[in-house]
Amino acid sequence: MSIPKAELHLHIEGTLEPELAFALAERNGVTLPYASVDDLRAAQAFDDLQSFLDLYYACMAVLRTERDFEDLADAYLRRAAAQGVRHAEIFFDPQAHLSRGVGMGAVVDGLWRALSRSEETHGVSTRLIMCFLRDESAASAMETLELARPYLDRITGIGLDSAEVGHPPVKFREVYEAAAALGLRRVAHAGEEGPAAYITEALDVLGVERVDHGLRCMEDAALVERLVRERIPLTLCPLSNVRLRAVEALEEHPLPAMLDAGLMCTVNSDDPAYFGGYADDNFDAVRDHLGLGEDRLRELARNSFLASFLEDDEERRARYLAEVEAYEFPR
């Protein structure tokens, strides 16, 4: 079901397919702690967010050069285009590379080589969002923002990811203030494994414009009412939530209740190489397992463009929105 859509919650490192991981390992002389692609796939049985993060960071060891980041982004954009993605706002985790001796330049320049020709090659417009690892220190986040200064013409915003519980948004107040002063847009993961209070804190303390996941807002009726009133977009990732056991089964996912409550939901793939599907696979999953009809699916696609950071190109947003309204579902 390739309805035109924007992808707003996508970690580029989470698009590293096992086949590419092994190819890059060979190219760079790096040894992965898995014997084969099948072995690596077999390791993708997760108990929770941390068990996923352990594998996610281990596999990143193969990403060493500008060309690796270019190849990674190009492979994602090709797959995304085939799944109806017209616009992608892509997260990257610089600290996970800096700590391995890979410079900010290799990461951003490499990603940018793929992103800058993506419209021409894949028909997908893009933005970059730099995430801070919340289980690293606030000082490390601030140093990372400093290192990114020469590249800010290519970076639209900042985000916050990695292990959530025990690392509340308030820990990053100063770096979000500094980023806002630099004109960067602000998002943060909140309410994936962490409590609803982290969502409120991300809004009040970090000034986020979108909440990544935000699933657990449903535990706080006053917060739901606020998110509806303020039209705060939530970037939900249904297949991720199942694989990381934030929900017990797809059938239990609160997305229908969230839409019924009037929340501005979007559907995204998070780390598609690890969670069993890209953008359309997530749309198909919510259609098939949550009984969402055409009106709801069109609403999700419309929301993705309304929530995207396209304020600098409203003509493009209008074009994408018109594509959503004109889309005819297959019979």
Q: Does 201 bind ligand ADE (CB under 6 A)?
A: no
* Token pair of 257 as six digits: 């209740």
CB of 287 to ligand ADE, least distance (A): 22
Q: Does 161 bind ligand ADE (CB under 6 A)?
A: yes
Nearer to ligand ADE, 1 or 250 (CB): 250
112-144: string of b/e by CB count within 10 Å (b at 16+)? Answer: bbbbeebeeebebbbbbbbbbbbbbebeebbeb
The half-sphere exposure of 56 on its side-chain side, counting CA atoms within 13 A, is 26
**192 has catalytic annotation:** yes
CB of 189 to ligand ADE, least distance (A): 5
Q: Does 122 bind ligand ADE (CB under 6 A)?
A: no
Report how far residue 86's alpha carbon sits from residue 323's, in angstroms, rounded to the nearest whole number: 10
Q: Does 169 bind ligand ADE (CB under 6 A)?
A: no
Q: Which of 6, 8, 10, 11 binds ligand ADE (CB under 6 A)?
A: 11
**178 Cβ partners below 8 Å, 6+ apart?**
142, 145
Residue with nearest beta carbon to ligand ADE: 161
Classified as helix, coil or strand, 48 is: coil
Catalytic residue among 192, 193, 201, 299: 192
CB of 37 to ligand ADE, least distance (A): 21
Q: C-alpha angle with apex 144: 140 to 146, nearest 5 degrees?
A: 115
Q: Does 270 bind ligand ADE (CB under 6 A)?
A: yes
With CB under 5 to 8 Å by kind, the binding choice for 14 among ligand ADE, Zn ion, none is: ligand ADE
Report how far residue 85's alpha carbon sits from residue 188's, in angstroms, rounded to the nearest whole number: 22
With CB under 5 to 8 Å by kind, the binding choice for 87 among ligand ADE, Zn ion, none is: none
Q: To which H or E segment does residue 125 belong? A: strand 125-133
Residues 39-58 as x/- pattern, contact with ligand ADE by CB under 6 A? ----------x------x--
With CB under 5 to 8 Å by kind, the binding choice for 86 among ligand ADE, Zn ion, none is: none
With CB under 5 to 8 Å by kind, the binding choice for 167 among Zn ion, ligand ADE, none is: none
Chain positions contacting Zn ion, by CB under 5 A: 270
Number of residues that bind ligand ADE (CB under 6 A): 11
Phi, psi of 279 (to 5 degrees): -60, -50
**70 Cβ partners below 8 Å, 6+ apart?**
110, 111, 113, 114
Catalytic positions are 192
